[in-house]
Amino acid sequence: MSEEIWIEVGSTDSIEEEDLIRFDHQDKTFCVYRLTDGFYATDGICTHEAVHLEDGLVMDDEIECPMHQGIFNIKSGEALSPPACEDLKTYPVKVDNDKIFIKID
């Protein structure tokens, strides 16, 4: 069994509500979101074409790709609107002492 790896992203006040930040770790890019009910994380690159979702708009529980307006559910990663059709990978998030951590497999 592999060991759980929690990576520190930053402090909770580094993300405004209904917004996101990009977080790069090794060769991977993630997006970490602050929604009204907590923090969430997904892959940082759209599944449709390789563009960073950090420039996208967060609306309620959804992130919209800035390039072609494909829409994903932030909590489940589900692709909701074409041209996005492949789901976005999501990651567990925890907050400890006002710091955000994401679990990367």
Residues lying near another protein in the complex (CB under 8 A): 18-19, 49, 51-52, 55-57, 64-69, 82-83
Cβ neighbours around 76 below 10 Å, total: 14
Q: Pick the closer one to another protein by CB: 58 or 93.
A: 58
Q: 66: cis peptide before it, omega within 30°?
A: no
Instruction: Residue 41: name the closest of 83, 104, 98, 86 by CA.
Output: 104
Q: Pick the closer one to another protein by CB: 8 or 49.
A: 49
Q: How far apart are CB 36 and another protein at their closest, in Å? A: 14
Query: Alpha-carbon dihedral of residues 104, 78, 20, 69, nearest 10 degrees?
Result: 140
As a whole number of angstroms, the distance between CA 57 and CA 60 comes to: 10
Q: How far apart are CB 55 and another protein at their closest, in Å? A: 4
Q: Pick the closer one to another protein by CB: 82 or 92.
A: 82
Q: How far apart are CB 70 and another protein at their closest, in Å? A: 11
